[in-house]
Amino acid sequence: MKNSHSESYAAAGVDVTAGYEAVERIKPMVESTYTPGVMGALGGFGGLFAPDLVGMKKPVLVSGTDGVGTKLKIAMLLDQHNTIGIDCVAMCVNDIVCGGATPLFFLDYIACGKNYPTRIASIVEGVAEGCRQAGCALVGGETAEHPGMMADNDYDLAGFAVGMVDEEKIIDGSRLADGDVLIGLGSTGVHSNGFSLVRKVLDVEHADLTSPREELGGVSLGQALLTPTRIYVKAVKALLEGGVDIHAISHITGGGFYENVPRMMREDLTARIQLDTFPRPAIFDVIQKAGNIPERDMYNTFNMGLGMVLALPAAQAGTALELLRAADQSAWQVGSVVPGNGGVELV
Query: What is the β-pairing status of strands 306-312 and 181-186?
Result: antiparallel
Query: What is the β-pairing status of strands 102-112 and 137-145?
Result: parallel
- What pTM, to 2 d.p., does this model score? 0.92
Contact between 305 and 280 under an 8 Å Cβ cutoff? The reply is yes
Percent of the chain surpassing pLDDT 90: 83
**Mean pLDDT across 112-130:** 94
Confidence of residue 17 (pLDDT cuts 50, 70, 90): low
Percent of the chain surpassing pLDDT 70: 93
CA distance 68 to 188: 15
Instruction: Say how far residue 223 (Cα) sits from the centre of its chain.
Output: 17
Contact between 229 and 220 under an 8 Å Cβ cutoff? The reply is no
According to the model, what pLDDT value does residue 31 have? Answer: 84
**Residue 153 clears pLDDT 80, i.e. is over it:** yes
According to the model, what pLDDT value does residue 27 have? Answer: 82
- Mean pLDDT comparison of 5-9, 38-42, 252-256, highest-scoring range: 252-256
Q: Which amino acid is at 259?
A: E
Contact between 228 and 90 under an 8 Å Cβ cutoff? The reply is yes
User: How deeply is 175 buried, as exposed, middle or buried, from its count of CB atoms within 10 A (0-12, 13-18, 19+)?
Assistant: middle
**Residue 119 clears pLDDT 90, i.e. is over it:** yes
According to the model, what pLDDT value does residue 127 have? Answer: 97
CA distance 309 to 171: 13
**Residue 15 clears pLDDT 80, i.e. is over it:** no
Listing DSSP states for 70-101 in one string gives GGHHHHHHHT--SSHHHHHHHHHHHHHHTTTP
**Residue 40 clears pLDDT 80, i.e. is over it:** no
Name beta bridge partners: 109: 142, 158
CA distance 139 to 117: 19
Between 266 and 29, residue with greater pLDDT: 266
CA distance 100 to 236: 8
Contact between 252 and 308 under an 8 Å Cβ cutoff? The reply is yes
CA distance 107 to 92: 10
According to the model, what pLDDT value does residue 14 have? Answer: 62
According to the model, what pLDDT value does residue 12 have? Answer: 57
At 284-327, the pLDDT tens digits run 999 999 999 999 999 999 999 999 999 999 999 999 999 999 99
At 175-229, the pLDDT tens digits run 999 999 999 999 999 999 999 999 999 999 999 999 999 999 999 999 999 999 9
Contact between 267 and 341 under an 8 Å Cβ cutoff? The reply is yes
